[in-house]
Amino acid sequence: MEQIQIQEPKLRPVADRQQTDGTPGASDSPRCHRKSEIEMILGALHNGASLLVVAGPGLGLSTLASFLRAELRARDEESILGEPTTVKAMLVDLCRQLGLNTEKRTGTQLQEMLAEAVPARRVIMLFDDAHRLPVSIRSWLESLHERGARIVLFATLPPRRDIFLRLPRIELKPLPHAAIREIMLEASRYVGRDFTSAELSTLAERCGGNPMLARRVVREEHLGLDPTAPDHTEWIDGTPMLIAALLCFTVLRYLGRGLHSSDLYLVGGMLAVAVGIVRVLLYSLPRKSAKLGQ
């Protein structure tokens, strides 16, 4: 039986790479495709504001957070990056990033230490996957924000409440085709396969400007998997438009009445019934499932 060898892409977290490579944009680093967003965030931080960066899954929030942190480091701005784990573990991690002693400290003590150090040292707090932050941390962040701390939260479709509602918001848009193409080329180099322009163009239609999906479809194609229903959210349901267009034919009925043409009136009536049937059939089709594989 033929064995398929799957070469896993050896992608390292961008943040790690920045630490070893020095600067973002080094020859083996991925290019940042969200420079304008980074500039916007830096501008806000420069003005002492906090921000919430929102996007759908896979649109590059973590990558943006890493690039932002590297950029802050390059500008000699002190920053800490929090990632949701347990409350205590996250607070310990944040304190360690600031070089604070965390031994034998309770969670409340750690919070107090951070609340003192962050404004005093003008530290910028970044939180990736902020939608998973527990309520206690969100309330603590709210109080820090009120005391003038600069916070940037990166959240995937967060709930409409507390700090998420309070902070000014940036919404990430899907990446343009040139960026998606570059990401796919990069992913294809990792899997060791050359895709033609035509193949990349066809694969790009399954991504909807989503960098995570761009990498995934390249891997799927490399593995020879059948294309599944695309997972991006850039859809417009054309069913109501189709029905509306078909309903225009029913105007014949009224034209027939206005023009005293019983033929037109009768045919318009028949078309109205036909459109009604199509409408009922289309709306009786099963709805799209929110779960994968259904």
Partner 1 sequence: MMAKTHALFGVAAGSLLVGTADPFCLGVAAVASQLPDADTSKSIIGRILFPISRLLEKRFPHRTLTHSFLATMLIAAIAWPLRWHSPQLWKAALWGYFFGWFADAFTRAGVAAFYPLTSARLVIPANPRLRMQTGSKAEYIVILLLIGVLAASLHLNTKGGLMRTLTMALGRSESLVKLYQAEGARRRVIADIQGRFAASNVPLHGSYDVIEASGENLIVRAVGEKDGVLYLAGHAQECASCQILIERVKGALGAAVTTVTRELRFEDRKIGDVLDSLRADGAEIRISGEIILDDADLLSWPISLQRFNPVTVSGASTKTLKLQAATPADLERAADYFGRGQLLVREVRDVR
Contacting positions for partner 1 (CB under 8 A): 174, 177, 180, 196-202, 204-209, 227, 229-230, 234-239, 241-242, 261-263, 266-267, 270, 282, 285-289, 294
**In angstroms, what is the minimal distance from the CB of 184 to partner 1?**
10
Residue nearer to partner 1 on the CB measure, 76 or 226: 226
CA of 223: how far to CAs of 75, 196, 207, in Å?
A: 42, 16, 17
**In angstroms, what is the minimal distance from the CB of 27 to partner 1?**
23
User: Identity (one letter) of the amino acid at 227?
Assistant: P
**In angstroms, what is the minimal distance from the CB of 174 to partner 1?**
7
Specify the DSSP element, H or E, that contains 279: helix 262-283
Nearest to 213 by CA among 84, 68, 56: 56
Specify the DSSP element, H or E, that contains 239: helix 239-247
Bridge partner list, 180: none
Residue nearer to partner 1 on the CB measure, 161 or 257: 257
Residue nearer to partner 1 on the CB measure, 104 or 288: 288
Residue nearer to partner 1 on the CB measure, 151 or 217: 217
**In angstroms, what is the minimal distance from the CB of 240 to partner 1?**
10
**In angstroms, what is the minimal distance from the CB of 227 to partner 1?**
7
Residue nearer to partner 1 on the CB measure, 248 or 282: 282
**In angstroms, what is the minimal distance from the CB of 64 to partner 1?**
20
Residue nearer to partner 1 on the CB measure, 165 or 245: 245
Residue 10 burial (C-beta neighbours within 10 Å; 0-12, 13-18, 19+): exposed
Asked if residue 156 lies in contact with residue 127, where contact means CB atoms within 8 angstroms, the answer is no
Ramachandran quadrant class, 275 (left: phi over 0; alpha: psi -120 to 50; beta: rest)? alpha
Give the 3-state secondary structure of residue 197. helix
Asked if residue 110 lies in contact with residue 63, where contact means CB atoms within 8 angstroms, the answer is no
Bridge partner list, 55: 156
CA distance 198 to 11: 26
Residue nearer to partner 1 on the CB measure, 39 or 205: 205
**In angstroms, what is the minimal distance from the CB of 6 to partner 1?**
25
